[in-house]
Structure 1
Amino acid sequence: MLKEDIEQVLNNYKRARNENFTGHPMAKVLRINFPNDLKEIIDEPNKYKITGSAGQGNWTYSPWVAIFDKRITTSAQSGFYPVYLFKEDMSGVYLSLNQGATDLKNKYGNRRANEILNTKSKNFRDKLNGLIQVSDNFLESIDLEVENSPNAPFYEAGNIYAKYYSLNNLPSEEKLESDLKEVLNMYDLLVSEDEPLKIIENESEIAESQKKFVEIFKNATDKIVSGKAGFQGGQEEGNFYWSNKLGIWLCSRKIETSRYWNGFGVEEPEEDSGHTIICEINFPLRGIRRSVAGAFAKDESENIYVIHRGKLGGNFSKVFFEENYEGEWTSVQDGDRKTDVVVIGRLDDPVLPEKVRDFVLMIDRMKNGPKIEETPSNEDNELEKLPSASFYEFLVESGYFFDPKIVENFLLSLKVKPFVILTGNSGTGKTKLAQLFARYQLSNYNIVPVGANWTENRHLLGFYNIITKNYQETTALTLITEASKNSQIPHFLILDEMNLSHVERYFADFLSSMESQEAIPLHSNEDNNVPNELKIPGNLLVVGTVNVDETTYMFSPKVLDRANTIEFSTSPAKSYMLNDYGEYQLTGNSEYLEDPLSNLEIRDCKLSQLKEELEDVKIEGGDYLWDVLADEVNNFQEVLGKAGFDFGFRVIDEILRFMYVAWIYEGRPEIWDNWMRYFDAQIKQKMLPKLHGSQRVLENVLMELFELCYTEAVEPSPRYFGDLKSDKNVKYLSSALKIQEMDKVLYEQRYVSFIN
């Protein structure tokens, strides 16, 4: 039973790790036998999901078997759960009440995730000690002594309480079962205490709660003045309720079409003066509106709480909030999903005003830095002076010069999808940019030159040699295998001169695997070093470079639809020789932009989710961004369709994901006046690359596309226009320049394509 399963793993796993993974009996022990035996021991096994892992496609160095209460989680990526964690050297195993780390790592990065896990472990222990007398023989820390697994530090940080069993001194079956039931009892206690708050959706409940919220501050008021409060993109007018005791003011009103607006500031207001809003705690009028900063939530006892989603607006992104907020996060039932939010306080709590004040002052410190009396220590100041170059600064300091927009587009594209095509003349820096970004990330990378004879995937992924009875590996396969073993580190596969051969011949099943997340069959033979099938890991980033000359091939629509195609222009010789590029700093959230593995969920983000995030964003002039994008995308789709180059849902979704990531990068502005710069990039990177054909097919289409890049109708063909860079009527400059270039080539050669 339980003791036999543990002994079997401890005695045999190290040897199994050197054998072929697929179909191995040891993997079956962890995935099937061990979980089934646990089901026989556990009372009410149906309320749990019990699963084990020996790895995915390859042996893991940290095998485990976990018990998930379905009310909390059904995977090891999130929540908390009991788990048997085996040490790498198989000298023993921990029964640990532990936490999922993957979601935290994806959201916050490794360092912050580790800190959060440690903090939550302590909080869980405090909660348990308030409920029961925890035995002294439980361990608060564990050491898996793992050298090869990137997950081990997070298992160790996530430990709440654990018991350790050495291979040389395993207790009896009865003792193992008794310990398990004791841990499950602790688990059940935490689960019962962990019933999430639920966001209130009822319109009348929200209205009543908003009324109470405002009354609380009105009752604490020492001074009421009228005036205006400004924020990026607009201002609000009304009465300002100032409290001497709290040191904050509230200005509140109902915006009939969308929300209850509650703005807070920290400077004492004066009559008919302008004031600065530090923080908004707004509430939707009805339903779930995740784009609104605040919400009301209630527990099982009908207590109502004020929560905040971390949306500050203006130039301050949610990522900025997450990285700087020092308080705790709480998971709430947010309609059909669970969301981490900040619980400010209970609505009927007598000290709610103080809790709101503390929240507002924390936001003030986050935005504007500490007050003079709160100046950080010398040690902190010295830390802030340490160099922290952005990737663009790294490029410049390394002696390489790229158009800053190209750099931004490259990094944005990698966040949306792990496949990017870089095109342009030879020597424009395509391969170098990808290589330098991999070096900047301290990541593993391989530059794989594509050969003209590549006609099948064996050139990329290898093949089984029937003569030697061994699998012939490639550098690309080795990199992909390494990426699978180190899922938290980006790995870059740079395919140099990707179109020297027909791309779809050697890359089609690779592309399909990236899209479907299904494994690629490699071989059906016995080979201990290479698995029978290969799954493309999410931390593998593929960058293909494309040179433009007579020796290369065109891309098929299947390839172009699945990538952002970024064109590199030839730099003026004088600018290059005199280093005359001017000074430029990436103005957005560069830390978010430069982490290709953060916010991974954007790769699969649905249209409805994107709309929910962007539907309240306006552009200059007051129109809603989402409505404008719908019209613009549709216009380009219709014109391209006249020549047979229209696009489907995949391209539309990826355009909108790019716009969403760009919006986050620019700080989630409520009024986004720079949106056209990024939509311009998507026209050129996603809509135009498939264009190719004769003058008869493309002449009128190019004219219509050119007109869509202008704010008003244009008359002559694009080739007759002069310098577009000084034309104020151009909406989408880079796309207009490309269309003008293609029109000139079409006129002179009677045929043109985007890439060749």
Structure 2
Amino acid sequence: MEEETQLMELRYRRLKELLSEKRDRLIALGLVDAGDIDAVMWENEAGEEGRSGIRFSEALDSDLSRLAPVLQIELQKKGLLYPQALLRDFLALLRTRDLVVLAGDSGSGKTSLIRAASEAIGGVCTVVPVKPNWTGPEDLLGYYNPVERSYQATPFLVALQDAARQPDVPHFICLDEMNLARVEHYFADFLSLLEQRTDLPTIQLYTADEERHVVVEQGLFLHVEAEARRRAGLGNTATLEDILGNDQANAEIHRLSGLTDKESVLIYHGRLRRSLAAQMRMPTSLTMPANVWIFGAVNMDDTTHQLSPKVLDRVHVLRFGNPMLADWDAIESEIDAAAGTLPADLSGLLIRSDEIGLRQDYPVFDRQDDNVRFLSDVSRRHLDPLGVEFGLRAIRQAQGYINAAVTAGLSKDEALDNVIRHKILPKMAFDTARPAGNGRARREILVELRDELSKRFEGTNVQMDASSVAELDRMIRLAEGNNGIVNYWLR
């Protein structure tokens, strides 16, 4: 893989060298436009200096814990009311750089939150609707068309390219209705790429051979036309029209290239232009931009697919309730209280992507940490007998989230409760009538888990009526009317 990556980088470098050295001739011959060359030669379109607004570092001292009330106020201006705890949870998830799945009914505000939050921090949001017929990675990332000699890009891939050209600007990409198709089919390759945490993963789009062919073919044509111009006495500024309009140059370019008539030169020229433009627009590989966050918005009903254990093991699930059931008075009280502690107007707040959080490896498994010991104990005593997987990677991922949540203004207890709601409860779907792996009744183990969590969060600042304990109470109650079937998504 490293050798293939190095080869692709070498060949793309050769393409850039061709564009740099032969820029004027390529433009004069109409093989490429000046703007297209500039887009390739200059990696970044706009940095931090290209945006106007209030800097996060100046307005809030880069303090992420002060950002939640700012978002809450800005979202209220758009008619969106979210509790501050949910926004702190959302910011903590942003800081982890993990894939986040927002779950809830249609109209519950999943996509609206992503759009509005992106706008509030000076970012860019791209919503990509998922189609039910998506079956493979080419539906997400596109494919190479050998007939057209070009790569057929998708909105998702174009959004990644746009983000790469604006490295300081946060880019949110939301896969809307993510589970209309089976996520583990079209998103499997990308899930594997996202597991690479120590450096930015490289997305290989197609082989580097075609790029090499284009560079060689362009080079040969430039050599032939240069020789034809030399023999006809034309200068370096001569266009293709000048060459074809000059009898001697026209004859020479036909003879040297082996073409037989004027139309053949035009057809060959058109093919060269299309192939070069395709290579410039889409290199053979793309490094995952550091300023990209990927979200999925899902509904859980009869028209969608369940999220598989493989997917749930790698994502955080943030579930939304019915906004009509929210305590609007309490939310507005939070907003009023926050307004007095913040600068007068933070509209146009600008945050760099690295100020939200950097992509890095998960924390080392620390058995001395209280939350790690608690989660490990819960996994051994309750989750494993219930058939719910919660392994080493999930615990390390939980450690990373808890660290991020504290930075976002949540307590460690609130963060631990969120871990259970993000990572454990969404995996629960089993028949309580069947005995557990240790022979005990599953309902009994589930009730024990509920009591264990209630004891753990008693006396903390965790809001028990909206906690993992309340969710377990709901699941146990609904299972009694569902033939003993426990399902987190059941309503």
TM above 0.5: yes
Taking the aligned partners of 1:675 and 1:438, their CA distance within structure 2 comes to: 26
The residue aligned with 1:9 is: none
State the 1:22 CA deviation. Answer: 6.2
Distance 1:498 1:425 in 2: 13
**Residues of 2 paired with 1:490 and 1:728: CA distance?**
32
* TM-fit CA distance, 1:404: 2.0
1:597 and 2:339 are equivalent in the alignment: no
- Equivalent residue number for residue 649 of structure 1: 392
Q: 2 CA distance for matches of 1:393 and 1:728?
A: 23
Which residue of structure 2 aligns with residue 584 of structure 1? 334
Code of the aligned partner of 1:755: W
Looking at structure 2, the residues matched to 440 and 464 of structure 1 have their Cα atoms a distance apart, in angstroms, of: 37
Higher-strand-fraction structure: 1
SS at match of 1:642: helix
What residue number does 1:61 align with?
42
| Aligned 1:483-522 pairs, distance under 5 A | 483-516=163-196, 517-522=200-205
Equivalent residue in structure 1 for 2:455, among 711, 724, 728: 711
Runs of 5+ consecutive residues of structure 1 not aligned to the other structure: 1-19, 31-57, 63-146, 154-318, 325-387, 616-625, 668-673, 713-723
The alignment status of 1:637 with 2:370, answered yes or no, reads no
C-alpha contact (below 8 Å) 2:309/2:427 kept by paired residues:
yes
CA contact (8 A) 2:362 2:397 kept: no
The question of 1:23 aligning with 2:4 is answered no
Alpha-carbon offset, residue 392 of structure 1: 1.1
Give distance in 2, aligned partners of 1:498 and 1:428: 15
Contact kept in structure 1, 2:205 and 2:284, CA below 8 Å: yes
Q: Does 1:534 align with 2:286?
A: yes
- 1:277-676 correspondence to structure 2 within 5 Å: 323=61, 390-516=70-196, 517-524=200-207, 525-526=210-211, 527-528=278-279, 529-572=281-324, 581-585=331-335, 597-598=354-355, 600-601=357-358, 603-607=360-364, 627-638=369-380, 639-666=382-409, 674-676=411-413
Q: Distance in 1 between matches of 2:330 and 2:160?
A: 40
| Whole-Å separation in 2 of the counterparts to 1:657 and 1:583 | 31
> Do the aligned residues in 2 keep the contact of 1:395 with 1:436 (CA within 8 Å)?
yes
| Residue 553 of structure 1: how far off its partner (Å) | 0.9
Partner residue of 1:150 out of 11, 30, 47:
47
The 3 A distance-change label for structure 1 pair 22 and 496 is farther
Q: State whether residues 636 and 705 of structure 1, in contact with CA within 8 Å, keep that contact through their aligned partners in structure 2.
A: yes
Decide whether the 8 Å contact of 2:137 with 2:185 is kept in 1.
Answer: yes
> Contact 1:710/1:729 (CA < 8 Å) preserved in 2?
no
Deviations 1:186-220 (A, max 9, x none): xxxxxxxxxxxxxxxxxxxxxxxxxxxxxxxxxxx
Name the CA distance, whole Å, in 2 between partners of 1:467 and 1:391.
49
Counterpart position of 2:430: 693
Q: Answer 1 or 2: which has greater helix percent.
A: 2
Report the Cα distance in structure 1 between the residues aligned to 2:102 and 2:467, rounded to whole angstroms.
Answer: 16
Superposition deviation, residue 497 in structure 1: 0.9
CA distance in 1, matches of 2:149, 2:352: 41
Distance 1:490 1:596, change over 3 A: same
Matched, 1:753 2:487: yes
Question: Which has the larger displacement, 446-455 or 588-597?
Answer: 588-597
Q: Report the residue type matching 2:390 in the other structure.
A: F
Preserved contact between residue 94 and residue 356 of structure 2 (Cα < 8 Å): no
Letter of the 2:427 partner, please give it. K
CA distance 1:754–1:397, change in 2 (3 Å): same
Q: Output the CA distance in 2 between the equivalents of 1:738 and 1:745.
A: 11
Q: 1:453, CA displacement in angstroms?
A: 0.7
The normalised TM-score by structure 2 is: 0.65
Uncovered stretches (5+) of structure 2, i.e. residues with no partner: 1-7, 19-38, 51-56, 63-67, 212-277, 435-441
Post-superposition offset of 1:507: 0.5
Using the alignment, how far apart are the partners of 2:48 and 2:327 within structure 1? 47
* 8 Å CA contact 1:21, 1:531 repeated in 2: no
Assess, with a 3 A threshold, how the Cα gap between structure 1 residues 705 and 602 changes in structure 2: closer, same or farther: farther
Report the Cα offset of residue 511 of structure 1. Answer: 1.4
Could you tell me how far apart the structure 1 residues matched to 2:326 and 2:426 are? 29
For 1:422 and 1:448, locate their aligned partners in 2 and report how far apart those are by CA, in whole Å: 14
**2:323 alignment partner, SS class:** coil
3-state SS of 2:386 partner: coil
Say which SS state the counterpart of residue 711 (structure 1) adopts.
helix
Counterpart residue identity of residue 583, structure 1: S
Q: Which SS does the other structure have where 1:455 is aligned?
A: coil
CA distance in 1, matches of 2:461, 2:355: 37
Q: 1: distance between equivalents of 2:120 and 2:404?
A: 21
Is contact 1:605-1:657 (8 Å) kept?
yes
SS of residue matched to 2:481: helix
Post-superposition offset of 1:742: 1.4
Q: Secondary structure at the match of 2:161?
A: helix
- Superposed CA RMSD: 4.0
Contact 2:450/2:472, CA 8 A, preserved across alignment = yes
- Distance, in Å, in 1 between the alignment partners of 2:414 and 2:157 is 38
Q: How many angstroms does 1:422 deviate by? A: 0.5
Secondary structure of the residue that 1:656 maps to in structure 2?
helix
- The amino acid that maps onto 2:397 is E
Quote the residue 1:286 is aligned against: none
- Identity, in percent, stands at 26
Q: Give CA-to-partner distance per residue, 1:153-174, whole Å, 9 cap, x none.
A: 9xxxxxxxxxxxxxxxxxxxxx
Contact 2:290 2:359 (C-alpha < 8 Å) held by counterparts: no
Secondary structure of 1:415's counterpart equals: helix
Distance, in Å, in 1 between the alignment partners of 2:389 and 2:396 is 14
Any conservation in 2 of the 1:499–1:553 contact (CA below 8 Å)? yes
Residue 482 of structure 1: how far off its partner (Å): 1.1
Q: Residue 746 of structure 1 aligns to which amino acid in structure 2?
A: A
Q: Is the 8 A contact 1:513 1:535 kept in 2?
A: no
SS in 2 for 1:428: coil
Distance in 2 separating the partners of 1:593 and 1:691: 40
In structure 1, the residue matched to 2:228 is: none
Contact 2:108/2:321 (<8 A) preserved: yes
Query: 1:518 & 1:408 partners in 2: Cα distance?
Result: 28
Q: Deviations along 1:126-155, whole A, 9 cap, x unmatched?
A: xxxxxxxxxxxxxxxxxxxxx8353899xx
1:575 positional shift: 5.4
Q: What secondary structure does 1:631 align onto?
A: helix
Q: Which amino acid aligns with 1:704?
A: E
The verdict on how the C-alpha distance between 1:151 and 1:567 changes in structure 2, with shifts beyond 3 A counting, is closer
- Residue 680 of structure 1: CA displacement? 0.8
